[in-house]
Amino acid sequence: MATVERKTGGGIGEAVLRKEDRKFVTGEGRYVDDLRLPGMLHAVFVRSPFGHAKVKGIDIAAAEALPGVHRVLTHATLPAETGVLCASNPPGSDVRQPEQPLLARDEVRYVGEPVAIVIADDRYIARDGADLVLVDYDPLPVVCDAEAALADGAPLVHSGYPDNAAATLVHETEGFAEAMQGAARTVELRVVNQRVTPMPMETRGCIGDWQQATGEVTLYTSTQVAHFVRTFISFVCGTSEAKVRVVTPDVGGGFGAKLNTYREEFAVCSASRVMGVPVKWIEDRSENAVATIHGRDQVQYYTAGVDESGRIVALKFDAIQNNGAYHQLLTPTISHLTVFMVPGCYDIQNISIRMRQAFTNTTPTDAYRGAGRPEATHGIERLMDAIADDLGLDAAEVRRVNFIQPEQFPYSSSTGLVYDSGDYDTTLDEALRLADYAGFAARRAASEANGKHRGIGLSTYVEVCGLAPSAVTAAIGVGAPGWEHSTVRLHPTGKATVITGTSPHGQGHATSWSQIVQTELGIPFEDVEVIHGDTAFQPYGLGTYGSRSLAVGGVALHRSLGKVREKAREIAANLLECSVDDLEWTGTSWQVKGSPDRAKTIQELAGAAWAASSMPEGVEPVLEATTFHDPPNFTFPFGTHVCEVEIDPETGRVEVVNYTAVDDCGNVINPMIVDGQVHGGIIQGLGQALYEETVYGEDGQMLTPTLVEYLVPSAADVPPMTLARTTTPSPSNPMGVKGIGEAGTIAASAAIVNAAVDALSGLGVRHLEMPLQPARVWNVIQEAKS
């Protein structure tokens, strides 16, 4: 599946093996659960077994009597200034922000909501103690489905509000109604983007360590956003931000689930404050299924007004997002990102959008790989196939007549974005060629002869990433900016340390950042150390999410490297007794133009800057630079994925037999890492398309709380993949990079489902919902036949 030959060191564009992998593959990674502090106690949370109930009383006596249990804390005894805070208030959406106390005060609103903390000598005793906490619940009516929650007479999730509306975004362009009325035909489609669970390999976990004498608190936590957690700890726990230190050791995956601030993070800090010793909590897998945010859960109604060629002249999008019981860090913003990307890569200027968000008795939803954009892509790509189907056109041709054309960039979308660059026909052409689209009919005939239905499906996507210009985050009501920090520090020996504010959880920053340093400063890959993940020594960083690390953090690094190089130039000119204008950069040294014998390497200049004995007038010692880079625009990666499936009509099983992805993420730092991101992204999208669904019963119980019911694809379930790339550099940053972390997930589900629908189109099937469970597909086949 690899498209590249790997090597062990190098600069930008080379497939360098990841320098961080040795520790991970030899078991020497250091995660929160590997940390043991002196005197540390262990916490287990008592969680609600009900989807909705009054908490009438909590009896902690038996639990506190268990040998080894130190204390059981409840809402009444756990100090907190406020509940969990949501940083998302989209303007004009009437967003409601219900209080989310650290531990339930008098009501629980979803299965898994924390009610008490048992603190004990070890985790086993704490867990036994949790069974002894007797909570007196009075069950209340529940509603888990978002459409049901917004219906008249639905049970109220928050009795303080008159209904379950959480927020509503409405947007309509001038002239929409006339355009829709003038359309030759309309095509309608309802699409369900089911609820899924991020399921990182490492569950969440944290240790709070409150120093009572000084009021300093250190939180070790598995997070994507250390500085943001620090700011919020200060608000919620009531202490100075300057006294809070957040440390993120190695983080074993996040997928957005750790782009958050959670009750448990605040609770272990406050519990440590009460107990006077560090308190550790490690989430277990079944707990993760209910206590960590979920993703997706959006129902969409599309009405497209089209002309006879399949061109969309007007598009109406009416959707409902299930927000869950409370708002986590960015909950109301996620479906806002869907709204932005409703038109996809198509030139749709007449648009009408309504996005209603609902409270339900479920775990809150928030960012999950793609965060709102997979929902938009899946919907519009299903719609494109429905248009092709209804009009009897080829699916690729319908896309072509709707594509934004290369000369239209920068392109102002009807939802308020400015797409930076793109060439959608080229990726489509390349993908169709690699997937042998022209030869599909023969393959289908061969499958039919074998008793199988074969289908081919396209997903032509564009995504918005590189989050985000700070003016935009402010304008859409996100209470955080979108810039990123970098510091480059050259040591006297010419080695380099990079401090990055975008802290990785599997992305390979240490490798990619080292490659950028080698290319930009000429310091060998092996001589670069990349450090991150401790707010005590790092300037503020916004973190890793939204495919932003390279396009924002990498560009911040690029700018710092430029500053160091220019400062080195001044020092070199002084040492070589010439003007800076007489010098040229060779890639590893400054030399007098045309005179290789009169040159200073970057290492020599680092030493000279440290020695400081021969510095130019007014130039400070040491080669070091810091940048806070605020991107001028988002970036817009795009591409075409083509999936081919075979369906066994006897069982309903859908098998992906071929998968081709042509992605354009601008310039590439490390092709191997990009391939890995695409592979992983596709598999995660395949997981949603074929296997994964978080299911609640009507009583509010979760029916998929373990990995026996919640089916994450394993290595054995990965189909053959062919990857390729085109390169359209982003004009928004000097590196021309765009981002690739989420593209695979954004593209994949639609390609797979479109292929499955195509396979059954001969039976008259026009749509399938995810996941494509065999039983569901078999039922559709039976209905189509009868």
Minimal distance, residue 714 CB to other proteins, in Å: 6
* Closer to other proteins by Cβ: residue 498 or 765: 765
* Closer to other proteins by Cβ: residue 595 or 651: 651
Minimal distance, residue 251 CB to other proteins, in Å: 20
**CA 499 to CA 201: how far, in whole Å?**
26
Out of 64, 121, 128, 318, name the contact with other proteins by CB under 8 A: 128
Write b or e for each residue in 144-164: b if 16 or more Cβ atoms lie within 10 A of its Cβ, otherwise e.
bbbebbbeeebbbbbeeeebb
Counting residues that bind other proteins (by CB under 8 A) gives 31
* Closer to other proteins by Cβ: residue 268 or 625: 268
Out of 49, 607, 713, 729, name the contact with other proteins by CB under 8 A: 713
Residues 95-124 that bind other proteins (CB under 8 A): 123-124
By CB under 8 A, residue 475 contacts other proteins = no
Minimal distance, residue 709 CB to other proteins, in Å: 6
Q: Which helix (H) or strand (E) holds 340?
A: helix 331-340
Out of 425, 622, 778, 784, name the contact with other proteins by CB under 8 A: 778
By CB under 8 A, residue 286 contacts other proteins = yes
By CB under 8 A, residue 703 contacts other proteins = yes
For other proteins, what does the binding mask look like between residues 401 and 430, x meaning CB under 8 A? Answer: ------------------------------
Residues 647-676 that bind other proteins (CB under 8 A): 650-653
Minimal distance, residue 648 CB to other proteins, in Å: 9
By CB under 8 A, residue 49 contacts other proteins = no
Which residues contact residue 47 at a Cβ distance below 8 angstroms, ignoring those fewer than 6 apart? Answer: 111, 112, 113, 114, 115, 287, 290, 291
- 8 Å CB contact between 313 and 306: yes
Out of 253, 607, 729, 774, name the contact with other proteins by CB under 8 A: 774
By CB under 8 A, residue 711 contacts other proteins = yes
Out of 518, 691, 745, 768, name the contact with other proteins by CB under 8 A: 691
Out of 412, 595, 727, 779, name the contact with other proteins by CB under 8 A: 779
- 8 Å CB contact between 332 and 88: yes
- Of 22-30, 232-240, 284-292, 317-325, which segment contacts other proteins by CB under 8 A? 284-292
Which conformational region is residue 763 in: left (phi greater than 0), alpha (psi within -120 to 50 degrees), or beta? alpha
Write b or e for each residue in 365-392: b if 16 or more Cβ atoms lie within 10 A of its Cβ, otherwise e.
bbbbbbbbbbbbbbbbbbbbbbbbbbbe
* Closer to other proteins by Cβ: residue 133 or 498: 133
* Closer to other proteins by Cβ: residue 604 or 717: 717
The amino acid at 415: T
Q: Which of 279, 127, 255, 163 is nearest to 200 (CA)?
A: 255
Out of 708, 764, 785, 786, name the contact with other proteins by CB under 8 A: 708
Out of 148, 622, 695, 784, name the contact with other proteins by CB under 8 A: 695
By CB under 8 A, residue 704 contacts other proteins = yes
Minimal distance, residue 717 CB to other proteins, in Å: 5
By CB under 8 A, residue 25 contacts other proteins = no
Please tell me whether residue 214 adopts helix, strand or coil conformation: coil
* Closer to other proteins by Cβ: residue 255 or 691: 691
Q: Which of 444, 381, 317, 445 is nearest to 754 (CA)?
A: 381
* Closer to other proteins by Cβ: residue 222 or 518: 222
Q: Which helix (H) or strand (E) holds 191?
A: strand 185-196
Beta strands 624-629 and 484-490, pairing class: antiparallel
Out of 186, 426, 761, 773, name the contact with other proteins by CB under 8 A: 773
**CA 101 to CA 77: how far, in whole Å?**
12
Beta strands 244-247 and 217-221, pairing class: parallel
Q: Which residue has the tokens 């008259």?
A: 764
Beta strands 205-210 and 654-664, pairing class: unpaired
By CB under 8 A, residue 783 contacts other proteins = no
Q: Which of 25, 24, 29, 31 is nearest to 282 (CA)?
A: 31
* Closer to other proteins by Cβ: residue 449 or 716: 716
Q: Which helix (H) or strand (E) holds 353?
A: strand 351-359
Q: Which of 476, 192, 161, 477 is nearest to 325 (CA)?
A: 161
Residues 740-759 that bind other proteins (CB under 8 A): none
Strand partners, 641: 459, 661
By CB under 8 A, residue 696 contacts other proteins = no
Give the distance between the most distant pair of CA atoms in the chain: 90
- 8 Å CB contact between 514 and 488: no
Out of 6, 56, 190, 285, name the contact with other proteins by CB under 8 A: 285
* Closer to other proteins by Cβ: residue 669 or 772: 772
CB atoms within 10 A of CB 585: 17
Minimal distance, residue 194 CB to other proteins, in Å: 13
| Site for other proteins, rule CB under 8 A | 44, 123-124, 127-128, 131, 284-287, 650-653, 691, 695, 703-704, 706, 708-709, 711, 713-714, 716-717, 773-775, 778-779
